């Protein structure tokens, strides 16, 4: 059973305007799994079936077609939490009740619809999250999309509704859409801006992709140069994203991306940890590997966060 460490208490102090339910659920996230009490996180997200399609997501490791598989993987690997859309959670939440904190993704997009500007559909409710016993809601925004109002405005209401029932909000901030170049989706200025927007919109936890050493906005580039903001290493860039998230007073997590070699992924994780990142959300790199390999990899990632780099 995890204890309330000084680190967990310190992180909770950043959320002093929140009600006790929100803080208790943030503490549950921080006090579960192999990193309990450290203020670091490794979370398993499995919405790729919805977002990318079943074959692209699960064919590399067919047991992963089964919703039970992911609960068991999150539990056995010592993840802080398991995040998924409504269907995957409903299918197995009862069987695994109480064994791993759950985050319900309240919106999702798929790759079948060809729409001008990216926007997710709302696919679940705060009530669903409460009914399933989740510790938080999850919500994706696409900063840079011409449809941003259809994402930002409902998010504000959902944050409020979730807070009223004591649930924190995790925002997946993935820049994309007509306002950005392809390289700009990962640009350090854009990722940092998206993390900041998420905090302003009320996110308690923000999830972004590891930023690249590219600056998209001309006006921002001038400032990066003038103020000497370092962007060369991943640790530098993560540090900038963390600073942009209320000067490090919000929990910011970084995603894993497409399946890559173990060495490449661990190199990323070391950079994230060295830059002060709070943890990783690793989906495809976990469940697309055979279970034994995934358990080993998640264990190695957890070790990096435990040691700090």
Binding site for ligand FBP (CB under 6 A): 45, 47-48, 51-52, 172, 174, 255-257, 281-285
Q: DSSP character for 229?
A: -
Region of residue 85 (left: phi > 0; alpha: psi -120 to 50; beta: else): beta
Minimum Å gap between C-beta 281 and ligand FBP is 5
Q: Two tokens at 129?
A: 């999250």
**Do 289 and 297 meet the contact criterion of CB atoms below 8 Å apart?**
yes
3-state SS string over 128-185?
HHHHHCCCEEEEEECCCCCCCHHHHHHHHHHHHHHHHCCCCEEEEECCCCCCCCCHHH
Q: Two tokens at 298?
A: 């998640």
CB nearer ligand FBP, residue 164 or residue 258: 258
- Distant-in-sequence contacts of 287-291, Cβ < 8 A, 24+ apart: 287/44, 287/46, 287/57, 287/58, 287/61, 287/64, 287/69, 287/70, 287/73, 288/57, 288/58, 288/60, 288/61, 288/64, 288/259, 289/61, 289/259, 290/61, 291/61, 291/63, 291/69, 291/73
Is 207 one of the catalytic residues? Answer: yes
Q: Which of 23, 40, 105, 207 is catalytic?
A: 207
Minimum Å gap between C-beta 283 and ligand FBP is 3
Minimum Å gap between C-beta 124 and ligand FBP is 14
CB nearer ligand FBP, residue 8 or residue 158: 158
Give the pairing type, strands 279-281 and 251-255.
parallel
Q: Which residue is nearest to ligand FBP (CB)?
A: 283
CB nearer ligand FBP, residue 31 or residue 285: 285
CB nearer ligand FBP, residue 31 or residue 255: 255
CB nearer ligand FBP, residue 31 or residue 48: 48
Minimum Å gap between C-beta 85 and ligand FBP is 9
Minimum Å gap between C-beta 194 and ligand FBP is 13
Residues catalogued as catalytic: 207
């Amino acid at each position: 059973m995890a204890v309330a460490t000084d680190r967990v208490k310190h992180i909770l102090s950043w959320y002093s305007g929140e009600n006790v339910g929100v803080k208790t659920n943030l503490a549950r996230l921080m006090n579960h799994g192999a990193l309990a009490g450290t203020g670091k996180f490794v979370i398993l997200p499995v919405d790729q079936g919805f977002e990318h399609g079943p074959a692209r997501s699960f064919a590399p490791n067919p047991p992963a077609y089964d919703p039970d598989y992911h609960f068991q993987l999150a539990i056995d690997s010592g993840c802080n939490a398991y995040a998924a859309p409504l269907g995957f959670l409903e299918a197995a939440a009862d069987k695994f009740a109480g064994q791993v904190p759950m985050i319900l993704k309240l919106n999702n997009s798929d790759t079948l619809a060809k729409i001008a500007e990216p926007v997710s559909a709302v696919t679940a409710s705060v009530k669903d999250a409460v009914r399933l016993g989740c510790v938080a809601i999850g919500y994706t925004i696409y900063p840079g999309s011409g449809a941003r109002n259809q994402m930002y405005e409902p998010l504000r209401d959902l944050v409020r509704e979730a807070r009223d029932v004591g649930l924190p909000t995790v925002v997946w901030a993935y820049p994309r859409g007509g306002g950005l170049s392809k390289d700009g989706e990962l640009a350090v200025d854009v990722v940092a801006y998206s993390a900041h927007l998420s905090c302003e919109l009320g996110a308690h936890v923000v999830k972004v992709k590891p930023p690249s050493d590219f600056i998209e906005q001309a006006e921002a580039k001038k400032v990066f140069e003038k103020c000497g903001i370092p962007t060369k290493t991943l640790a530098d860039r993560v540090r900038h994203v963390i600073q942009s998230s209320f000067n490090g007073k919000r929990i910011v997590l970084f995603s894993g991306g497409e399946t890559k070699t173990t060495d490449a992924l661990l190199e990323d994780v070391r950079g994230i940890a060295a830059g002060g990142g709070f943890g990783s959300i690793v989906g495809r790199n976990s469940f697309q590997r055979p279970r034994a390999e995934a358990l080993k990899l998640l264990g190695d990632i957890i070790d990096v966060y435990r040691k700090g780099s």
